[in-house]
Amino acid sequence: MKILIVQDFLRSGGTERQSLLLARGFAAAGHAVELLTFRPGGALAPADGGGSSPAGGGFRLRALQGFDTGLDWFAPGLARSARAFGPDVVVCMGRMANCLAGGLQRKIPGTAVVGTLRTGKPLPFLFRRSLARVRHIVANSAEARDRLVALNGIARARISVIRNSLVFPAPAPADARDALRSRLGAGPGTGVMLCVAMFRPEKNQRKLLEIAAGLPAGLDWQLWLPGDGPSRPACERLAARLGLGNRVWFPGFQRDPAAFYAAADSAVHASASESLSNFLIEAQANGLPAVALQAQGIGECFVPGETGWAVGRGDTPGFRAILARLMAEGPAERATRAAAARAFARESFDPERQVSAYLDLFKNLFADRRY
């Protein structure tokens, strides 16, 4: 089978990591795979260009723009490039690719174009219209599927739920954990809270800073915020104004944040822009209990009340109370909770299972030649 994945740009986000994971997984299963981006390069662009030999487990990476224009929506020759590859299935990842998916389906009617829904933000008109025209849709959470049915009138039978895959399932070695905690000044009794995300306003790291600033006096804690993006400078200024300079760290973009997962004690999340949080999935796989503000799909990222808690978006005191309780837990209780989190995540978000679910869907679409 020939599979084309379309993504606007390989920036440092969760959707982009999922695109690369799927490309590698499909290629490893023996399929011819091309990852087609609008813009060249990006923080996650493979150093080897993605490879070009499916027999060797690689995939081909191509960009539509001859040089980076900085325009995420500019996709010159998208249909022409798709026809040249001759795919059996096209998977559109991310907002801009999905806005063009319906038009691509119209131009290559013999190919099954699959749209994806991976955001909790309101969908723009072009996105909604496009999803109504593609052959099939993959939502990454049951809540996202149900919202699409209720608000946009799309038939439930046209939507499959395939959750995100673990990108960093393997824990970092203990020495990496200890070295990172030492470098950032976290002692044995310091409760380290972690949020790995791009710095965009909708990711809402500033809310995490406000929550942390009001934790009970006497608690020994740090907040680590790996990532980069346009809202980072404002968050750094807010941390300074709140007097958190020695408690909050901004380590920047991490191509592989495994050491941060291993060195932290809990995961915190305030974004409302996702339909399933890659960060919370990775945190669970690394044994971190999670505290998150309620949003679409959040409850599907952990075992509610056991390995994670979804807090009402206005309940800041409740958020702080759970964090304080987690920091007060003893080693045995922490170990039990961590084991439950790892077991849940590795079973529910196993990469091989998720890749197989996509391939089964593609085979069904490919076999149904009625279109």
- Residues 326-358: pLDDT tens digits? 999 999 999 999 999 999 999 999 999 999 999
What is the pLDDT at residue 164?
92
What is the pLDDT at residue 357?
97
Asked if the domains at 2-165+350-367 and 174-348 fall in one CATH topology, the answer is: yes
What is the pLDDT at residue 367?
74
CATH superfamily of 2-165+350-367: Glycogen Phosphorylase B; (3.40.50.2000)
Residues in a beta bridge with 89 = 3, 112
What is the pLDDT at residue 49?
59
What is the pLDDT at residue 57?
46
Alpha carbons 225 and 239: distance in angstroms, whole number: 11
At 61, phi and psi to the nearest 5?
-115, 125
Alpha carbons 146 and 156: distance in angstroms, whole number: 8
Low-confidence stretches of the chain (pLDDT < 50) are 52-57, 370-371
Alpha carbons 33 and 86: distance in angstroms, whole number: 11
- pTM for the model: 0.85
What is the pLDDT at residue 54?
39
What is the pLDDT at residue 55?
37
Each domain of the chain, given as residue ranges in start order, spans 2-165+350-367, 174-348
Q: What tens digit of pLDDT does each residue of 168-196 get?
A: 766 777 788 889 999 999 999 999 999 99
CATH number of 174-348: 3.40.50.2000
How far, in Å, are 133, 152, 227 from residue 197 at the CA level? 32, 29, 5
